[in-house]
A and B are shown apart, each in its own frame.
Chain A
Amino acid sequence: SQQGEEDPQALSIQEGENATMNCSYKTSINNLQWYRQNSGRGLVHLILIRSNEREKHSGRLRVTLDTSKKSSSLLITASRAADTASYFCATDVLNTGNQFYFGTGTSLTVIP
């Protein structure tokens, strides 16, 4: 079963705009991570945020985490056509020996 759920399921924006994706999860976590997947290939790790952190930046990516609401958001600023992909949040669930559970994903399309 999926631990997390991304929202929206699909998002289409113009190049240069910002894209925001949200993730909600069910249980306590060690950390939360975001991954990108291009066309059914392997996933690429983007960013990790620990349970005691509230915000983290990496290049054009900004991640927030609210453990009280069990939610996270991923913001991609100044989007590019190359950002077109599916984005998944993955939760490192507490007391499971660092097992990761993925959400359902957001499909992002950036129109040139």
Chain B
Amino acid sequence: ETGVTQSPTHLIKTRGQQVTLRCSSQSGHNTVSWYQQALGQGPQFIFQYYREEENGRGNFPPRFSGLQFPNYSSELNVNALELDDSALYLCASRPGSNRSNYGYTFGSGTRLTVV
């Protein structure tokens, strides 16, 4: 098992710019979710992908978008960055069908700073 890997680990962007964060899921995992974690807070659910289709979304605006590829790797795109988008972005994957009882394997996250 290689676990979940995220890139880059740290990133600094200017307000108004666009950013793409990448995630490589653990082998055999077909479900991936993205979370935003502000300092001192719990992770907030952004969206989930299952077999390349978005099947759930949290309370985030459309400028947060994503993709899941056939190899189950994933991207999170954020357009028109705002200062409040500064956070740790976590990717998590798990195996199984849509109704499985599995825990998530998390990556170490991408620390995004918007200035």
Q: Which residues of A contact B (CB under 8 A)?
A: 1-2, 4, 30-31, 33, 35, 40-45, 48, 50, 88, 90, 92, 96-105
Pair A2/B44 contact, Cβ less than 8 Å: yes
Question: A92-B101, A105-B42 are known contacts; what are 4 more A-B pairs with Cβ within 8 Å?
Answer: A44-B106, A48-B102, A98-B98, A99-B45
What residues on A are CB-neighbors of B98 within 8 Å?
A: 97-98
A-B Cβ contacts below 8 A, count: 72
Q: How far is the CA of A97 from the CA of B98 in the complex (A)?
A: 6
Whether B45 pairs with A41 at a CB distance below 8 angstroms is no
B interface residues, how many (CB within 8 angstroms): 32
Q: Are B101 and A30 in contact (CB under 8 A)?
A: yes
What is the predominant secondary structure among interface residues of chain A facing chain B? strand
Residues facing A in B57-115 (CB within 8 A) are: 58-59, 88, 90, 92, 98-109, 111
